[in-house]
Every structure is written in C-alpha cells, then in structure tokens.
Amino acid sequence: MKVKEENTPKTEAIKNALKQVDFKDTFSTTNHKDDLKTVAHLIFGTFPKWVSTLMKLRNTLVKPFGLKVEMPKDYNLDYKVGSYSGFFKIFDILDNELVLGADDKHLNFRVSVYDSKEPSFNIKVTTLVEYKNTFGKVYMAIVAPFHRVVVKSMVKQAYKNAYV
C-alpha cells in the first residue's frame, strides 16, 4: 500500500491553520528522499490526466457561482510565504511542515504537508476546510467523495519507498 488514510496529526500548524474546522482528512505516504518543497511539488505540481479533466469540469460548473477558477494575479513559484506551490498559496513554512491553501467566498481551506519522520507513511497530507456559508457546506457535501479519491491519487505521486 502506497497511500493510506489516517488520523489527523496534532501539529501546531494544523491547530492554528483555521479558526474552525468543518471538514478534515489525512492521507499519508512514504518519502525519505525529498525535502518538503519537493514533496509538495510532487503532489500538487502535476496532475494525473483524469484529475485535470475533473478540475476543468469543476471550474466550468462553479464559475457561474463566482468561485475562483483562475490563477491569482500575484501567482509566483518562489518558495516563500505568500508564493505558491502548484495552485495553492503558501501560508507557512516550518522545518517539518508546509501549510498551503486558499480562501474563497464559500470556504477557506488549508493543506498541511507534514513530515513526521516515521519509518513509513511519514508524509502526512491533511486537508482542513472551514465553511463560510451554506453554499460552502453544500459544495463540500458534493465534492468530498471526489476529493478523497483525487487527494489519494495526488499523494501517491510523492511515494518513494527507499529510506535514505
């Protein structure tokens, strides 16, 4: 097994990421070869073709509701707080954890990429969502089943079995 779902880690960054957490999940994989910047890029920098197709469909469906579907004007790939990793803004960079995410009119979300240093399944990718309104809650109810499959597939891209 290259990816598994597990309990959310209790890191300070996760505890402080959002005021309220209405949805969360964590998927883990093993990678002791790469630093967190590289791991985040492996996960969020490229999509399997079927995920890209789903994202295009999602963007087409939500654009009439005024949700964000394009890269922001301040988009850049510098590795610092306020820059981006893939399509997520970097909110925090710690020694063993990155916090990425976005805020929109229906919800705020954060993604923690955390290296627990465990021998296996050390990379923990946690999604946290805070609903801003009823639309955010309905949106997540529709998206959640797809989210789990998509995130699991994306986390699998960071898998590297050898321990360095």
Residue 162 has pLDDT above 60, yes or no: no
Residue 93: predicted pLDDT = 96
User: pLDDT tens digit string along 122-150?
Assistant: 999 999 999 999 999 999 999 999 999 99
Residue 76 has pLDDT above 70, yes or no: no
Phi/psi at 102 (nearest 5 deg)?
Answer: -160, 155
Residue 61 has pLDDT above 90, yes or no: no
Query: Do the strands 107-115 and 97-103 form a parallel or antiparallel pair, or are they unpaired?
Result: antiparallel
Count CA atoms closer than 13 A to 154's CA, side-chain side: 26
Quote the CA–CA distance of 40 and 73 in Å, as a whole number.
Answer: 22
Quote the CA–CA distance of 91 and 101 in Å, as a whole number.
Answer: 7
Residue 164: predicted pLDDT = 45
Q: Does 4-156 carry CATH code 3.10.450?
A: no
22 and 141 in contact (C-beta within 8 Å)? no
